[in-house]
């Protein structure tokens, strides 16, 4: 009996922008609209369509966008 081949997982970061937190490895960021974004392992991400979150993260002095 052969085992089915596993398909490679889709890259979860393909549709999101990842930022590195240069100050903390874990914290919660509160957006102006009241939503929360969690920094985990020094990283936080925002979906490509979430313009408010991406704008907030890109202007934050402690965060650097990853390439």
Q: What is the pLDDT of residues 19-55, one digit of tens each?
A: 999 999 999 999 999 999 999 999 999 999 999 999 9
**Nearest in space to 56 (alpha carbons), one of 45, 41, 43, 42:** 45
In the sheet where 63-65 sits, what is the strand order? 26-30, 36-40, 43-47, 16-21, 63-65
Tokens of 12: 């979860």
Tokens of 60: 């934050």
Whole-structure pTM over 0.85, yes or no? no
pLDDT of residue 16: 93
């Amino acid at each position: 009996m052969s085992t089915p081949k596993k398909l490679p997982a889709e890259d979860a970061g393909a549709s999101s922008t990842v930022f590195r937190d240069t100050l903390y490895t874990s914290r919660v960021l509160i957006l102006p609209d009241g939503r929360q974004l969690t920094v985990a392992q020094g990283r936080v991400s925002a979906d490509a369509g979430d313009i408010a979150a991406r704008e907030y993260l890109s202007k934050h002095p402690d965060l650097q966008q990853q390439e």
